[in-house]
């Protein structure tokens, strides 16, 4: 079976695929998500999403065969709280994921109630609008420790060889209090740092990216690193693979620069 690349995607804002003006603003992101799918010779057996919108004390693993919806956004039109993305879950892979994490000494547990949050269902609605690929999520850990999240990725790397596409879903810039023109300089400078760091040779990349708080404007771009942490899981699962930037945008939300990356080919 094909070994899938891993990804860190910037997933846009709220339920953007269902809001025409927002969808137009994210047209480059939409194109990149569709190109991801087009590049896969065969569909994945399942998609494992690590969203910046779910965190627990230990790694929680979505185990429902029919995951519900989590509308974790505010101030959007009423109809966006009725969205359905009826992809099946992947309970057997959830069990396998639990075993892999446990064997690696990483605290984890199954969650049979958790549903898809918008970090999952918004990009997937563009990638697979038919919702015909099994999907499951794992949570971040509240510690936000980059090394631990890299270790989570390493523990799950073998899933790639079983046809699972591992996608970290966040944003390369996430400061909800700083949008517009004021965001241009910090997001652009941090984006340059991120690209230079991730495209290093794999053997020198890990210590550089783990030390992300030393990057210029790091704490302005990520006051809380929930939307950056999915990157470390995706990178840990493809630690020996080279990185390719597959999406880049400037001027989002009036000034934000954002990017997405693929690890492996």
In the structure, what pLDDT confidence band is assigned to residue 203 with cuts at 50, 70 and 90? Answer: confident
Spatial distance between the Cα atoms of 233 and 244, rounded to a whole number of angstroms = 16
Q: What is the per-residue pLDDT for 220?
A: 96
Sign of the alpha-carbon dihedral angle for 107, 109, 114, 120: positive
Asked if 126 and 33 count as a contact pair (C-beta separation under 8 A), the reply is: yes
Asked if 141 and 58 count as a contact pair (C-beta separation under 8 A), the reply is: yes
Give pTM, 2 decimals: 0.96
Tally of helices (H runs) and strands (E runs) in the chain: 9, 8
What is the side-by-side order of every strand in the sheet holding 108-111?
108-111, 59-62, 135-141, 46-56, 164-170, 6-10, 256-263, 243-252
Per-residue pLDDT tens over the stretch 92-136: 999 999 999 999 999 999 999 999 999 999 999 999 999 999 999
Stretch among 8-12, 31-35, 64-68, 177-181 having the lowest mean pLDDT: 177-181
Query: Is the predicted pLDDT of residue 1 greater than 70, yes or no?
Result: no
In the structure, what pLDDT confidence band is assigned to residue 74 with cuts at 50, 70 and 90? Answer: very high
What homologous superfamily does CATH list for 6-263?
LigB-like (3.40.830.10)
Sign of the alpha-carbon dihedral angle for 90, 94, 95, 100: positive
Q: What would the mean pLDDT of 170-197 be, rounded to a whole number? A: 93
User: Locate tokens 């999915």: which residue?
Assistant: 230
Q: What would the mean pLDDT of 192-215 be, rounded to a whole number? A: 95
The residue extents of the domains of the chain are 6-263
| pLDDT above 70: percentage of residues in the chain | 100
- Residue among 51, 156, 169 at smallest CA distance from 114: 51
Q: Cβ contacts of residue 186 below 8 Å, gap of 6+?
A: 173, 175, 178, 217, 220, 221
Asked if 101 and 124 count as a contact pair (C-beta separation under 8 A), the reply is: no
Spatial distance between the Cα atoms of 85 and 130, rounded to a whole number of angstroms = 9
Asked if 62 and 89 count as a contact pair (C-beta separation under 8 A), the reply is: yes
Spatial distance between the Cα atoms of 237 and 156, rounded to a whole number of angstroms = 6
In the structure, what pLDDT confidence band is assigned to residue 206 with cuts at 50, 70 and 90? Answer: very high
Spatial distance between the Cα atoms of 244 and 206, rounded to a whole number of angstroms = 16
In the structure, what pLDDT confidence band is assigned to residue 167 with cuts at 50, 70 and 90? Answer: very high
Query: Is the predicted pLDDT of residue 148 greater than 70, yes or no?
Result: yes
Asked if 59 and 107 count as a contact pair (C-beta separation under 8 A), the reply is: yes
Query: Is the predicted pLDDT of residue 177 greater than 90, yes or no?
Result: no
Spatial distance between the Cα atoms of 171 and 165, rounded to a whole number of angstroms = 19
Query: Is the predicted pLDDT of residue 253 greater than 80, yes or no?
Result: yes
Q: What would the mean pLDDT of 44-68 be, rounded to a whole number? A: 97
């Amino acid at each position: 079976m094909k070994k899938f690349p891993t990804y860190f995607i910037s997933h846009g804002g709220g339920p953007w695929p269902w809001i025409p003006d927002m969808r137009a603003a994210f047209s480059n992101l939409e194109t990149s998500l569709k190109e991801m799918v087009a590049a896969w010779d065969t569909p994945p057996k399942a998609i494992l999403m690590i969203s910046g919108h779910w965190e627990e004390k230990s790694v929680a693993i979505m185990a429902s065969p029919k995951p519900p919806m989590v509308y974790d956004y505010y101030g959007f039109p009423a109809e966006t709280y009725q969205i359905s993305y009826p992809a099946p879950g992947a309970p057997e892979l959830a069990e396998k994921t639990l075993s892999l994490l446990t064997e690696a000494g990483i605290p984890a547990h199954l969650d049979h109630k958790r549903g898809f949050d918008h970090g999952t269902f918004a990009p997937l609605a563009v990638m697979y609008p038919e919702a015909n690929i099994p999907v499951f999520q794992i949570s971040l850990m509240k510690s936000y420790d980059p090394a631990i999240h890299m270790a989570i990725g390493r523990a799950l790397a073998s899933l790639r060889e079983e046809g699972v596409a591992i996608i970290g879903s966040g944003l390369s810039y996430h400061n909800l209090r700083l949008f517009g023109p004021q965001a241009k300089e910090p997001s652009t400078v941090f984006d340059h740092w991120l690209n230079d760091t991730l495209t290093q040779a794999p053997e020198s990349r890990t210590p550089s990216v783990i030390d992300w708080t030393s990057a210029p404007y790091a704490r302005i771009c990520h006051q809380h690193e929930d939307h950056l942490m999915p990157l470390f899981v995706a990178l840990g699962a493809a630690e020996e693979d080279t990185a390719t930037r597959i999406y880049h945008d400037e001027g989002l939300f009036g000034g934000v620069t954002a990017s997405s990356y693929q690890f492996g080919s």
